[in-house]
Structure formats: structure tokens, C-alpha cells
Amino acid sequence: MIKDMTIEMYTELLASDEPTIGGGTAAAISGAMGASLVMMVANLSIGKKKYAQHQEVFEDVLGKMRDIQQVFLDKADEDKASFEAVMQAFRLPKSNDDEIAARNLEIEEATKVATLVPLSVAMWAIEVAKSAIIVIEYGNINARSDGLVGAQMASTSFNSAIYNVKTNLTSISDEGFVAEIDEKIFAAVSQMNLFESMWKKFTG
């Protein structure tokens, strides 16, 4: 499992010619890093008299980000598995019309799954962005830059995941599925753009 690897093991595998560890897993790992940094700021704010007014909020953020951090790590493995399933579908026999039809259907269904995984990563990245704004605005000011990096990692996770979603959509013939995902992408991008405008006011 990817989450059981050392950083060195993961980055070496990411740099290799192994096709199933790629941008999708990197998007998920970026999200986990963003969640971790938001947790860091929350931890540095909890128990401090100056920030006691928002202690319960920070504790809520901490619990939420801890769960989401684990979700991202699981999504990295899901992304790997879903892409492996697509590759396996492409290896199916195609020596007659029935086999070709069955193979095409399997490729389509596997690609849909491989599309939904990064879409889920993008949605979780939005949740990290929300919490990042809270700790940036109300948390320990000495760790604000860490919160901003966490927000940026959430943005990186989001955009990277969306790249993967859009790439997969080009291979899917189910127009209804494509239209549904496109709508979700549009709404999600609008939401992330709003959050980015909120935290970027702290970067000047």
C-alpha cells in the first residue's frame, strides 16, 4: 500500500516507468499533506490563551482533518487500483465482435471508476480548503504561513485531480455520464475559486 511506503520509496516509484503510480496518486498525497498542515496550525492554536475563543472550532478542524488525511491516503491506493483495472481491461481479447464488444464495455466501466476516484479527491480537497481558511484567519498567527501552504496543497490536490478527471472523460462514450461529471466539475471549480480568493487576501 502506498501509505505504508517511506517518502523515498514513494518518490522513487513515482519517478519510475511504473504507470499506475502517477498524477492521480500525487493528487491524493498532496491533499493528505494539505490536511496535515491544517492540523498543524490547529494543534499550535489549541491550548493557547490567545486563541481560546476558538478552541472548539480548532478541535473540530483537527478531528475532521485527521479523518480526511486518512481518506486521501486510501484514495492514493484506490487511484492506483482503478488505473490497473483500466489497463487490465485493455488486455482483454478482441479476436471477434463479441470479444470486442465485451472489451469495450469493460474499458468504459473501468474508466468511469477511474474518473470517480480523482473526482472524490477533488471534493475532499475542497473540505481541506474550507478548514485551511479557518485556521489561517483565527489560528496561531506564527503558523499562518503553514496554513497558507496547507491551503495551497489543497488547491494543488484539487487541480491535479480535476486534470485526471477531464483526461478520463475524453475516453468515455456515455454522454450522460460525461455531462453529469462536467456539471460537478463546474460547481467544484467555482467553489474552490471562491476559497482561493478568501485565503489569498492573507498572502499580501
Domains of the chain from N-terminus onward: 18-202 (1.20.120.680)
Mind spelling out the 3-state secondary structure of 12-43? HHHHCCCCCCCHHHHHHHHHHHHHHHHHHHHH
Q: What was the pLDDT predicted at 19? A: 84
Q: What was the pLDDT predicted at 192? A: 98
CA–CA distance, 38 with 139 (Å, rounded to integer): 10
CA–CA distance, 51 with 56 (Å, rounded to integer): 10
Question: For the whole model, what pTM was predicted?
Answer: 0.95
DSSP annotation of 185 reads H
Q: What was the pLDDT predicted at 20? A: 83
DSSP annotation of 4 reads G
Q: What was the pLDDT predicted at 18? A: 86
Q: What was the pLDDT predicted at 204? A: 75
pLDDT in tens, the chain (204 residues): 998 999 999 999 999 998 889 999 999 999 999 999 999 999 999 999 999 999 999 999 999 999 999 999 999 999 999 999 999 999 999 999 999 999 999 999 999 999 999 999 999 999 999 999 999 999 999 999 999 999 999 999 999 999 999 999 999 999 999 999 999 999 999 999 999 999 999 997
Within 10 A of 141 (CB to CB), how many other CB atoms are there? Answer: 14
CA–CA distance, 82 with 156 (Å, rounded to integer): 21
